[in-house]
């Protein structure tokens, strides 16, 4: 007897690097005992989707189905699933498998799994199959990599939290952002506008460093205390030596020395933005102030749940523009022009 379930999903896929999106279908795997099947309702567009679809980082496998800010509803569960039931509102973020046994998995940092965390798209899972992401109407995922979306968050608004939310929440927590700390957020796009809300709610004094003055009013609405344009060189003189932490969310290379000069002694520049080319800096920018440069990669599953609950409790929400499946190419162009306020979210019912 054949138990094949034929889970066919409509998807938006990129046939080759930088090509326009096409509508097609893929087969999702049959449900294993610890899998859930979900109907994807919304998927956010993260700049990492664009880096991948454009093959900026150089290991793209095509055709590719991007998408890692995935929100939807459970429609079936495997026989051993205990956390979720049909009808539950759930989210999936950047990764869908890890070894579960290494030091980092055991402490909830699956993103640093020593066997290699399996990303939700453009990756090879441990069974040898390629992963396809959330620009899709259905998905099969191990329940361990699924989080619950709090009732007070609409699914479209919640979706960007699954990457942009956790990527900014996690380093702010790790570097103990709170009252008495001065934090600068560089770049106010999808990640940046959430970083401002989280850092403000955690009690820090928050400064936004944006290319222009255009986003000032919205930055103050998100909770920023100060706002400066980095196109004005006076910004770097005025703010010299001020910050405990700078969170860099910019998708392009920056003048790292200029930003290091804004740190206090012992301050840290944390990079979450991931440009394709290496950054350069003068080591004296670190030595002369015992400063550090660091990086951070999304966050673990338990921490993602904690972040969603924190956002729900404190009224933190992405500002989104919901688009149809036909508008994704145009949305990519707009993100590249920094013309997004502040996250595009695809309505999957239009696919």
| Nearer CB in complex with ligand NAP: 57/284 | 57
- 13, containing H or E segment: strand 7-13
Q: Which of 46, 162, 208, 340 binds Zn ion (CB under 5 A)?
A: 46
Tally of CA atoms within 13 A in the half-sphere of 246 that contains its CB: 31
Please give the C-alpha separations between residue 217 and each of 148, 213, 214, 220, 224, in angstroms, as whole numbers.
32, 9, 8, 5, 9
What SS3 class is residue 205? strand
Which of these segments, 43-51, 120-128, 139-147, 171-179, binds Zn ion (CB under 5 A)? 43-51
Interface with ligand NAP includes 297 (CB under 6 A)? yes
Interface with ligand NAP includes 211 (CB under 6 A)? yes
The pairing of beta strand 89-92 with beta strand 147-148:
antiparallel
Q: Which of 40, 90, 141, 163 binds Zn ion (CB under 5 A)?
A: 163
Kindly state the tokens that stand for 290: 């015992």
Q: Check residue 279 and report its DSSP letter.
A: P
Residue 223 CB, nearest approach to ligand NAP (Å): 15
What angle is formed at CA 305 by the lines to CA 320 and CA 332, rounded to 5 degrees? 30
What SS3 class is residue 17? coil
Q: Can the peptide bond before residue 233 be classed as cis, meaning omega within 30 degrees of 0? A: no
Q: Which of 167, 261, 285, 304 binds ligand NAP (CB under 6 A)?
A: 167
Q: Rounded distance, CA 211 to CA 254, Å? A: 11
Q: Which of 11, 43, 48, 134 binds Zn ion (CB under 5 A)?
A: 48
Please give the C-alpha separations between residue 32 and each of 116, 141, 278, 284, in angstroms, as whole numbers.
21, 9, 41, 54
Which of these segments, 31-39, 185-193, 280-288, 326-334, binds ligand NAP (CB under 6 A)? 185-193
- Residue 193 interface partner, choices ligand NAP, Zn ion, none, CB cut-off 5-8 Å depending on type: none
Which of these segments, 48-56, 101-109, 323-331, 340-348, binds Zn ion (CB under 5 A)? 48-56
Name the residue among 217, 216, 224 with its Cα closest to residue 198. Answer: 224
| Nearer CB in complex with ligand NAP: 242/296 | 296
Counting residues that bind Zn ion (by CB under 5 A) gives 3
Subset of 227-286 contacting ligand NAP (CB under 6 A): 249-252, 272-274
Q: Rounded distance, CA 212 to CA 209, Å? A: 9
- Residue 134 interface partner, choices ligand NAP, Zn ion, none, CB cut-off 5-8 Å depending on type: none
Q: Check residue 150 and report its DSSP letter.
A: P
| Nearer CB in complex with Zn ion: 260/320 | 320
Interface with ligand NAP includes 332 (CB under 6 A)? no
What SS3 class is residue 333? helix
Which of these segments, 85-93, 131-139, 190-198, 310-318, binds ligand NAP (CB under 6 A)? 190-198
Q: Note the residues at the interface with Zn ion (CB under 5 A).
A: 46, 48, 163
Q: Note the residues at the interface with ligand NAP (CB under 6 A).
A: 46-48, 51, 163-164, 167, 187-192, 210-211, 215, 249-252, 272-274, 296-298, 335, 338, 340
């Amino acid at each position: 007897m054949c138990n094949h379930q034929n889970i066919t999903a409509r998807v938006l896929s990129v046939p080759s690097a930088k090509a326009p999106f096409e509508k097609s279908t893929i087969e999702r795997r049959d449900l294993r005992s610890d899998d859930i099947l979900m109907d994807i309702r919304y998927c956010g567009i993260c700049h990492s989707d664009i880096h991948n679809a454009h093959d900026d980082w150089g290991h793209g496998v095509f055709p590719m189905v991007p998408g890692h800010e995935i929100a939807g509803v459970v429609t079936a569960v495997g026989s051993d699933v205990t956390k979720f039931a049909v009808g539950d509102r759930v989210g999936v973020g950047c990764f869908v498998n890890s070894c579960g046994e290494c030091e980092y998995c055991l402490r909830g940092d699956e993103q640093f799994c020593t066997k290699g965390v399996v990303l939700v798209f453009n990756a090879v899972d441990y069974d040898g199959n390629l992963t396809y992401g959330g620009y899709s109407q259905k998905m099969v995922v191990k329940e361990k990599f699924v989080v619950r979306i709090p009732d007070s968050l609409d699914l479209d608004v919640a979706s960007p939290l699954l990457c942009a939310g956790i990527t900014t929440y996690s380093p702010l927590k790790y570097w103990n952002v709170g009252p008495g700390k001065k934090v600068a957020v560089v770049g106010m796009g999808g990640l940046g506008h959430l970083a401002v809300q989280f850092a403000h709610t955690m009690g820090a004094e928050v400064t936004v460093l944006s290319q222009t003055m255009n986003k000032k009013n919205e930055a103050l609405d998100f909770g920023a205390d100060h706002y400066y344009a980095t196109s004005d060189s006076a910004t770097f003189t005025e703010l010299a030596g001020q910050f405990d932490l700078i969170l860099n969310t910019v998708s392009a290379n920056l003048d790292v020395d200029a930003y290091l000069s804004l740190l206090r002694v012992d301050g840290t520049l944390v990079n979450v933005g991931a440009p394709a080319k290496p950054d350069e800096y003068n080591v004296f920018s670190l030595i002369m102030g015992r400063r550090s440069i660091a990086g951070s990669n999304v966050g673990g599953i338990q921490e993602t749940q904690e972040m969603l609950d924190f956002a729900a409790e404190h009224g933190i929400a992405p500002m989104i523009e919901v688009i149809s499946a036909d508008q994704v190419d145009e949305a990519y162009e707009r993100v590249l022009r920094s013309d997004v306020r502040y996250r595009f979210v695809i309505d999957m019912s239009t696919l």
